[in-house]
Every structure is written in structure tokens, then in C-alpha cells.
Amino acid sequence: MDAAVNDADADPESASGGPHDGPGPHEKQAPGRQAGAFRRFTAGLRRHWMRWTAVGVALVVLVGAGVGWTLYRKLEGNITTDVGTAEELERYDAERPATVSHEAKNILVLGSDTRAGGNRRYGQDSGTARSDTAILLHLSADRTNATAVSIPRDLMVTIPDCARPEGGRTKEQFAQFNWSFQFGGAACTIRTVEKLTDIRVDHHVVVDFKGFKRIVDSVGGVEVCLDEPVSDPDAQLELPAGRQTLKGEDALGYVRARHGIGNGSDTQRMARQQEFLASLFGKVRSNGVLMNPAKLYPVLDAATSSITADAGLNSLTELYELVRSVRDMPEENVRFMTVPRQPYAQNPNRDELVQPDADRLFAQLRNDKPVQGDEDDSASGASDGQEPGGGTSGAGEADGEGRAAPGDTVDDRPDGARYRAEHGAAGTAARTVTQSCG
């Protein structure tokens, strides 16, 4: 008995049926044991699968985050910040208009005709850039409406004394509006606009020829319709009549052209620019670009690569917030117009404001009030049925686009024959598809 106990104590596995007491090689496991083994096996597989799935998801997230960050940094780095303009404006901050509505935004959009770099193909570079396109964009505080007001290049205005890019300063003078950009770049133009309208410009954006083409191409072009074929060698434009989608060079030529299209007036060129931009905005909205990352990225890449902006719009976050704020704005609440103007009394090839219409418009924008009045009258300033303002330069033109440099002479025929020829009822303008080709 003692021996048996001692044997059991010495070899507990033998006494209790140790690990070697299981079934032999020709014996079957009990059903319960077989099921348990299977459960342990599958549980192990699930743990391994979940572990590798978690690793895979983590890798995808990390790669996605890395790609996203890389794209973000690329877009952010595309934007050129206009530091010099901010420094110049700061010197005159005390004399600038006060901000009336802090939530509303007034953005000055300038089209630069510089021939530097990739823009040399569009003409000789005289060493200074001009801006024949200037649009003051007002976004209402509640972001329910937007008003884009074109300022004619030939509008006679008071240009303040400005710092020249090459050094020195200009004197305050009464001259045509687009000279302000040539005299002192965006800073001089902003101060001229503020002096003219008494509206504080919150931000500014400058787009050159190459940038405009990239933005249009990023949305697949814009559809227009021409009543007649167009041939304008100065704008490098040859187009057939009819409905067509314009991209690249053709889109740029279309908004630049003056000769060989319509009646050749700057008035009609501004109208085409406004219509084209409205169609471009509509296409972005209708194609769901703002809500589709795959479509939005090319547009953002083109836009950020194409602009020079102030410090308030020089980051992707700031641009995104601005775009997001107008995402739900009804398209019918986006209005394009031109300041009320008429032929300048002393030179019919230049423009002057129509008062009190112009001041009324500026007050509505300044105080963030809806723009009132008939759209045709407020947009053109016409009062007698004659299309107003915006003549071309005559003798001494700097190039084939009718741009006169400061000091150039113009055709001052007192009978205004040139003005009537360019702005009379004769001539058929090119129109966007929203206006013809129904």
C-alpha cells in the first residue's frame, strides 16, 4: 500500500492518466475533443487575420495620409505670395477706407498681361505689366449672393502716387485706369480702386495668361457659340462659326480678342469676359467639381499654380474655406456687371463714370446691400440707347491690342467717329452658348 502511494507521488502523471493515456494511433478522438481542437485552430486563424488586417489598414491609412500630405504641400507651395503689395499698402493704411462689414469680402481679381517667362509668345515684353482685366468681386456676408463688377481699362480715374517696381515714385495723376498696374503693380491698382469706390479691398488675386489657360483646361474647356467666324491675329485666334468648346489658346484668345470679333470694342470684350467667367463658374458647379476630390484636385492644382495672392489667400486652407463658403450659393445669385460709365467728355475714346449711378452701386457694395436697379442699365450706364464707353487707343498704340502706354497719343477727333464706329449698333458680338445657339 505504501509502495503504491509512493509510486503515485513519484509519478503523478502515471497515477492520473498522463499525456500518454490518450488514444492510440488507431483510436478516434471523442467528438467533443475534436470540436474543441477545431475551434482553437479557427480562433488562431481569426486572430492572425485580424492582426494582418489591422496592419494592412494602418499601412493604407499611413500611405493615404502621406499622399494626402504630399498633395496638400504641393498645392500649398504652388501659390505665390505677394509680399510687396502688403508692405506698400501698410504704409497707407490710415488713408484706406474702413471695413464696413467684416463678414463680407471684397476681392480684386486682376489679369496680368506680362510677357515674361512662358507668356513671351503673346508679344514683346516692354518690361512692365499691365492689367486690362480688373474685376471687383463682392461676396455678401451671408454668402447668398456675389457681384462681380468689371472696371474698364480706359476709365479715367485719379491714380495716387505709387512706388515703381524699378524704384522711385510716380506723382498723383488723372489717367486711364489700367496705367495704375503699370505704374505700381497690384498695390497701386488697389489704392486706385479704393479711391474710386471708397470700398476696402480685403484680398487680391493676379492671374496671367498661362494661368488662365490652365484653369480653363482643368475643367475640360468652356462652351461658347459664335454667330460668325472669328479671325484676330493679334489674339492668335481663328475660330469657325457655331457652337464649340474652347480650351487653352483658343479660350485665352477669345477673352483677349478685340479685332475681328463683334464691333471691336473694349465694351464687348468685357462682356465676353464676364460671360465666359459665368459659364466657367456654372460648369464647375454643374459638374460637381467642388464635392468630388478626383475632379477638384486638377482644378485646385491649376488655380494655385496660376495665381499670385495676398497673405490672406495664399494657403490651401484659406482658399478652401472661401470656396466652401460659396458652395451652396445659387447660380442665379452670381451677377456680372460693369461700372456705369459713358464716353469721357474730353476724349470719346476714354470712359468716365455715370453719376449718381456709380456712387449708388459702390454704396450698395460697400454696405453689403443687394444691388438694385435694372441689370442692363446698372451694368452699362446706358441712358439713351447708345452703348457706352470703352474705346480703343488710336495712334501710338503699344501693340495690336489697342493698349496705349502712358504718354502715347490717341485719336482725338472731335466728331467721335471712331467711338461711333466701334460702339454703335453695327456689328454682331460673339456670345456664349447661354445667349445664342438655342
pLDDT band at 54 (very low <50, low <70, confident <90, very high): low
Q: How many residues does the chain have?
A: 438
pLDDT tens, position by position, 67-87: 566 777 778 888 899 999 999
CA distance 92 to 163: 12
Task: Indicate the range of 128-132, 155-159, 235-239, 348-352 predicted with least confidence.
Answer: 128-132
Q: Which cell numbers hold the place of 262?
A: 463683334
Task: Give 20 or 385, the one with higher predicted confidence.
Answer: 20
Beta bridge partners of 109: 135, 205
pLDDT for the residue 5 = 44
pLDDT for the residue 234 = 82
pLDDT at residue 400 greater than cutoff 80: no
Bridge pairing between strands 347-353 and 341-344: antiparallel
What does pLDDT average to over the chain?
74
Which whole number is the average pLDDT over 175-199? Answer: 96
Contact 416, 221 (CB under 8 A): no
pLDDT at residue 117 greater than cutoff 90: no
* Greatest CA separation for the chain: 143
CA distance 337 to 319: 24
pLDDT band at 203 (very low <50, low <70, confident <90, very high): very high
pLDDT for the residue 322 = 85
pLDDT tens, position by position, 277-308: 888 888 877 767 777 777 888 888 888 888 89
Task: Indicate the range of 59-63, 232-236, 370-374 predicted with least confidence.
Answer: 59-63
Q: 127 phi and psi, to 5 degrees?
A: 100, -10
pLDDT band at 406 (very low <50, low <70, confident <90, very high): very low
Which whole number is the average pLDDT over 213-227? Answer: 90
CA distance 77 to 201: 25
pLDDT at residue 127 greater than cutoff 50: no
CA distance 253 to 268: 14
pLDDT band at 182 (very low <50, low <70, confident <90, very high): very high
- Quote the percentage of the chain above a pLDDT of 90: 35
pLDDT for the residue 263 = 73
Beta bridge partners of 225: 243, 431
pLDDT at residue 317 greater than cutoff 60: yes
Contact 95, 147 (CB under 8 A): no
Beta bridge partners of 155: 351
pLDDT band at 59 (very low <50, low <70, confident <90, very high): low
pLDDT for the residue 251 = 93
Q: Is 191 strand, coil or helix?
A: helix
pLDDT for the residue 161 = 96
Q: Is 355 strand, coil or helix?
A: coil
- Quote the percentage of the chain above a pLDDT of 70: 64
Task: Tell me how many degrees the CA angle 200-267-422 measures, rounded to the nearest 5.
Answer: 150
Q: 242 phi and psi, to 5 degrees?
A: 105, -175
Instruction: Count CB neighbours of 298 within 10 A.
Output: 16
Q: Which cell numbers hold the place of 13?
A: 502523471
